[in-house]
Chain A
């Protein structure tokens, strides 16, 4: 079974700092990769996704992620964070097979941006 690891459980940054959240997955086959965000009091929203093609994907709100197949990684980045980026971030994977599109999530990273 696949698993997803997010290395940082809590991250605290000042505004304008750069952000990189790590995500590694374990599965040898073809996967779809996602980053979701959960702002305080709101529901999960898709930040960006990778299905195929250019491994550098751009999402909403200035976020991007790079798929490195050899490292089984899909790290999330943002050059300059804002206070409004305070949220919990989840990396997720689904496997391209007949088992459906169930998502396997990482444990989440709580990001706090200090104004």
Chain B
């Protein structure tokens, strides 16, 4: 069984640009979660998508947004990048009715 995949592995952007990160969940999983792992701030919940809808978001500004496609893959968009957005962005997926999430390898975003 293929795990959660994320692309790209690394992404380097300059301040003010936009970044797009992609995630493919495990086959059969309908929920996708995004987390930010920033140095010194730990892992923080960003967004939850299920069945194509945004179900909940963490305490992040609106320039963090995303979407989920009909095949349940997901994109995370970060607009107007700031230096403090530099972090590892993790995607996780879960199947309906279960509490367990499976994590991808992450995309390391560096903003210069």
Contact = CB atoms under 8 A, between A and B. Distances in A.
Interface string B49-68: 01000011010000000000
A107 B43 CA distance: 7
Contacts of A36: 103
A68 interface: no
Interface in B62-112: 90, 92, 94, 98-106
Interface string A55-77: 00000000000000000000000
Given A43-B105, A44-B90, A108-B43, A102 B99 contact: no
Contact of B99 (A43, A101, A106, A108): A101
A94 interface: yes
Contacts of B43: 90, 92, 103, 105, 108
A106 B42 contact: yes
Interface of A is mostly: loop
Contacts of A32: 99
B45 A103 contact: yes
Interface string A88-105: 001010101001111111
A45 B105 CA distance: 10
Interface of A: 32, 34, 36, 42-46, 49, 51, 90, 92, 94, 96, 99-108
Interface of B: 31, 33, 35, 42-45, 48, 50, 55-56, 58, 90, 92, 94, 98-106
Given A101-B31, A103-B45, 19 more contacts: A32-B99, A34-B100, A36-B103, A43-B90, A43-B103, A46-B100, A51-B99, A100-B31, A100-B55, A100-B56, A101-B33, A101-B48, A101-B98, A101-B99, A102-B45, A102-B48, A104-B45, A105-B42, A108-B43
